[in-house]
Amino acid sequence: MEDVLELYAEPCQGWQPVICFDERPCVLHGETRPATSAQPGQVARYDYEYQRNGTCNLFMMFQPGAGWRHAKVTQQRTKTDFAEVMRELVDVHFPHAEKIRLVMDNLNTHTPASLYAAFPPAEARRILNKLEFHYTPKHASWLNMVEIELSVLVHQCLKRRIPDMDTLKREVAAWQATRNAQQATVRWQFGIAQARTKLTRLYPDLSS
C-alpha cells in the first residue's frame, strides 16, 4: 500500500510516468422499439424493454499527474489483450519514457507472464524492460486512482443504452477527448501518514 502512496506523492515526471490501469466489462444494449425524440417541455422517452447485444471490455490507462487518460475497447480481456495494451502503452503513448510505473490490481492477467504468452521472448522482454509493476493490496483496489476515473466515465458516458462496440468506441473517444482537453484529474489526498493512522489493522502489532 505504501508503495503505491509513495508514487502518488511524487511530482509528475515525463521520463517516469505513473499510470493507473484497470479494465471493466461493458454490456451492450439495443432498443426493441424506436425511442421518442425530445420535444419542447418533454424529455426523450425509451421503452423499458431492451435487447442484450453481448458484452465487451474496456481498458483504461490514466496518468493523474498530467490529467491524461486513454480508453481502449476490446472484444474481451485475455492475456493477449492485456499484452497488446502494454505494448501500445510503451510504443505509442510513452515511447520516450525511461520507465513506466504501472499501478494495477492483482488480476490474473496483470503479470509479466501475459506478455510471454502473447509475444516471442525477446519482444516480451523489450516491453517489460520499460514497465515497473506496482500492485494495490488485495481487497484495496480503491487505492488505484483509475477506479475514480472509470466511475466518472460510467456516469458521464456509459449510463445509457449503447448497442454495439463501434458506437461504444465513438462515444468513449469523444468523452476521452473532452476530459484530456480539460486535463481533468483526481485530487488525491490520502497519503502514508493517513494510512498509518486510519488503517492500523493492516500493520503488524509491535507492542508486545
- Supply the range of the domain harboring residue 9: 2-31+49-202
Does some domain include residue 125?
yes
Q: Cβ of 31: how many Cβ atoms within 10 Å? A: 13
Q: Give residue-wise pLDDT tens across range 173-196.
A: 999 999 999 999 999 988 888 888
Amino acid identity for residue 7 in this structure:
L
Angstrom distances, CA of residue 27 to CA of 30, 73, 124: 10, 12, 31
Between CA 206 and CA 154 the distance in angstroms is: 43
Domain count for the chain, please give it: 1
- Worst-scoring range by mean pLDDT, 20-29, 39-48, 78-87, 181-190? 39-48
Between CA 113 and CA 58 the distance in angstroms is: 21
Does some domain include residue 38?
no
pLDDT band at 37 (very low <50, low <70, confident <90, very high): low
Residue 42: predicted pLDDT:
67
Does some domain include residue 39?
no
Does some domain include residue 37?
no
* Max avg pLDDT among 37-46, 113-122, 195-204: 113-122
For residue 18, give the nearest of 10, 29, 26 by alpha carbon.
Answer: 10
Does some domain include residue 86?
yes
Q: Give residue-wise pLDDT tens across range 131-172.
A: 999 999 888 888 999 999 999 999 999 888 889 999 999 999
- Tell me the CATH number at 151: 3.30.420.10
CB 78 within 8 Å of CB 88: no
Residue 29 burial (CB < 10 Å; 0-12/13-18/19+)?
A: middle
Share of the chain above pLDDT 90, in %: 65
Residue 175: predicted pLDDT:
96
